[in-house]
Structure formats: C-alpha cells, structure tokens
Amino acid sequence: MNPTERRRALTSLLAVPAGMVAVATVAGAASARDKGTDRLALLEAKQEITEVLYRYARGWDRLDEETLRSCFFADAQHQHGGFKGLSQDFITKAFPMVAKVKSTTHAISNVLIEVKGDKAVAECYFAAHHRRMNKDGTDEEDYFLSGRYLDRFEKRDGVWKIAARRGLNDLERVEARADRTFATAAPDSFGKRKPEDPLYALLAELNGG
C-alpha cells in the first residue's frame, strides 16, 4: 500500500467515529429541546391553574360574578360545607349571601399542582375574612374561616378550569370589631365591589376602554 492509499484508509477510519459523534450530538440537542418544551408546557399549565385559583378569590372579594363563574366548567361538581352539587349552583346560592356582607378578603397560598396531560390536581390553602353585622345587629364583627381547596382541573379547548372542587375547613373564629381608625378613614382608602373598585378602571384603561 503506497502512502496515498494509507492516508485514504486512515481518513476513512477517522471519519466513522466523527460521523457517529455528529449524529449523537444532533440527537442530544433534539432531546434537550423536547425536554425544554415539555418543561415549558408544564410551567405554563401550572401558572394558568394558579391564576384560576387567584381569580376565584378575586371574584368573591370584588363580588364579580362573571369572574367567579369563569373558574369552573358548566358541569363542574362542588362540595363545601353543607353544599353538594354543581359549582355554578354553589355560586348562585352563595352570591346573594356574600353580597349582604360588608366586605370579604380571601387569600390563597401553598399552591401545589400535579399535571398529567390535560388533567391536573391542585391543592391550596384558603384564608377568608368576612366583615359583617353581629347577630344582635348592634355592631360589626369579624368572621374568619380557613381550610383547603382540593381541585380536579381539566384542559378543554385549550383552557384550564376546575372540573371538581372539594372544600375542607380547618379553622373558624368570630371576633368583635377591633379596628381603631377605619371609622374616620377616607372612603377611597377601602376596597369596593365591582364595578366601583379601582381595579376595573385600571383594567379598562389597559384594554383601551
């Protein structure tokens, strides 16, 4: 074998592993992209589900019926306290009751979500405060309730909503009104219900309306 033939043979031997490395590199890059895409989709799903939980709290505090109903599918099942039935019926029953309360504050925390395809299970804690009149009608009092929401979410037509909810209560407390400065505070220093709350003017401005 002359020197030219030896060089050609050596080049062929070296080219084989180099080609294999190139194929492996391309395959690895594709796999990394797939994993990145899956991770991004998971994060997007969890964020969308979390915002549904937050919107539910906003719906009650701003007495925003449209927002409340948007959190649930029409056939969503609901069990909380003494109620068991459709989520939409729960809202219908509770809405006029909450409307009689002076104000409410709902906080959502400890959100944990497990996603499998177009289905998910979410657990979160809720802490609710209601400012209301006492039984004697002589003064206001504070009612506190906390617990958890266990929700089964589904993604239908590209949208995540609650398909079933189970509310579990952990703590209840009633206390006499103890604020000191609210009676003389400026009226515009307090939150209001829809549409008077400043939030809705901000949203309208954001959306060009």
Residue 25: both structure tokens together? 């590199």
Residue 202: both structure tokens together? 């901000």
Is pLDDT of 35 > 90? no
Q: Which residue in 150, 77, 85, 91 sits closest to 120, CA to CA?
A: 150
Taking the CB of residue 8, how many other CB atoms lie within 10 A of it?
Answer: 12
Report the pLDDT value the prediction gives residue 48, as an integer from 0 to 100.
98
Report the pLDDT value the prediction gives residue 22, as an integer from 0 to 100.
52
Q: Using pLDDT thresholds of 50, 70 and 90, give the confidence band for residue 53.
A: very high
* Overall average pLDDT of the 4-22 stretch: 56
pTM for the whole structure: 0.83
Report the pLDDT value the prediction gives residue 24, as an integer from 0 to 100.
52
56 versus 12: which is more confidently predicted?
A: 56
Gap between the Cα atoms of 94 and 181, Å rounded: 30
Q: What is the DSSP string of 84-112?
A: EEEHHHHHHHHHHHHHTSSEEEEEEEEEE
Q: Which residue in 81, 91, 100, 105 sits closest to 167, CA to CA?
A: 81
Is pLDDT of 102 > 90? yes
Q: Which residue in 166, 165, 57, 45 sits closest to 113, CA to CA?
A: 45
Q: Using pLDDT thresholds of 50, 70 and 90, give the confidence band for residue 109.
A: very high
* pLDDT tens-digit series, residues 167-184: 999 999 999 999 989 889
Report the pLDDT value the prediction gives residue 9, as an integer from 0 to 100.
57
* pLDDT tens-digit series, residues 113-132: 999 999 999 999 999 999 99
Mean pLDDT of the chain: 90
* pLDDT tens-digit series, residues 127-170: 999 999 999 999 999 999 999 999 999 999 999 999 999 999 99
Q: Using pLDDT thresholds of 50, 70 and 90, give the confidence band for residue 188.
A: very high
